[in-house]
Amino acid sequence: MKRNFDTIFDRTNTSAVKWDCVEEVFGDSEVLPMWIADMDFPVAPEIIEGVRRRLEHPIFGYTKPWESVIDSVVERVKRKYGWDIRPEWVVFTPGVVPAISTALKAITHPGDQVVLQGPVYYPFWKAIKENGCHIENNKLKFSNGKYVMDYKDLEDKFKPKKLLFTEPSGVKAAILCNPHNPVGRMWSREEQEKFGEIVLKYGGIVISDEIHSEIVLSNKKHIPFASISREFEQNSITCYSPSKTFNLAGLSVSSIIIPDEKLRNEFIRAAGHTLGKVSVLSLVALESAYRYGDEWLSDLLEYLKENLEFLLKYFEEKIPEVKPIKPEGTYLVWLDFRKLGLNGKELSEFLVKKAKIGLDDGYLFGPSGEGFARLNIACPRSILKEGLKRIEKAVRDFIR
């Protein structure tokens, strides 16, 4: 059965951050929100049914992950990516961002350096700083409308520093985002091999955020970093979650894959009693999604691809001054507004006050995000069309 994703569900007055915090975030209740990365679609009915069945039992006490929910993660990773993982490698956390912060706490000490690749998801920057570490920004290179890694700069970040005396690099970890948020790249095996070889050559650990790995809008195939080699596997932490794929962000559940026993124990120790446990209903939703949600997901991906093509055609024909970077994965589109000649703050004001649309400001993703903005296409097409019409009118008025 093909799902109808055109239906608009009113999310106001449900405490939805995207819709009920518009005035708080943008200062104007008339702004159309197309920013935060969740979807305006109802979840798969199989997930609702799974949660409903669990609700029939009237006790919700302390719960540990049960065998079948762990197996659902193991089986899905094998089925989707061909990567054989073991049940004991799986650690559940209430979200990928808390897990990345915990991973940094386990790997680093205050004063160490951590590599990220800007422009990149802004909570990464905060997580590094909050762990007392310094950011080494291995900026992605933007060439001919496509982002690529800068391997020379990456190695320079890790190389010992030659001052009066040669000092070892303080870089202990690198965060890989795949698919990359916000630029939408799905890194190839070759690209990840080069990246991993450099990081491991200097004793670093790779933290691979693969939360968007099932949202594939191209003919690419997601390749988990850790699946490439035994060495990569044993020197990495991989983060998965059904939250983006199945629209479960409000249930706060992630599965973190840590093959190396010593590293896994350090992660668990770093989590302590502060990270928090995953709720029983979140685990039920995860298992229901992974076991029974593929038909819904197939329909979703088809709809998202159609939304993306609609957006690309709209910009090409009606707003050629703004260049969308076509994503290979994620339902997020990185828009290049630099031809308008506005700085980050000016572009933000232009979008909110003139276009009446709420996007994620590009500069939040790092200095190389200046002049860009991120738009979420996971919504009914009528909402997407309204958002694009608002951008079109504002741009026409601006250049008139």
The span from the CA of 206 to the CA of 212, in Å, is 17
State pLDDT tens for residues 297-336.
999 999 999 999 999 999 999 999 999 999 999 999 999 9
* Mean pLDDT, all residues of the chain: 96
State pLDDT tens for residues 213-265.
999 999 999 999 999 999 999 999 999 999 999 999 999 999 999 999 999 99
pLDDT at 167: 61
pLDDT at 111: 95
Largest CA distance in the chain: 69
Residue 157 neighbours by CB under 8 Å, 6+ apart: 113, 115, 136, 138, 169, 171
Q: Is the pLDDT confidence value at 161 over 80?
A: no
Band (165; pLDDT cuts 50, 70, 90): low
State pLDDT tens for residues 338-368.
999 999 999 999 999 999 999 999 999 999 9
pLDDT at 170: 86
CA nearest neighbour of 215 among 74, 78, 333: 333
Q: Is the pLDDT confidence value at 105 over 80?
A: yes
Domains and CATH numbers, the chain: 17-44+294-399 (3.90.1150.10), 57-292 (3.40.640.10)
Does the predicted model carry a pTM greater than 0.75? Answer: yes
pLDDT at 124: 97
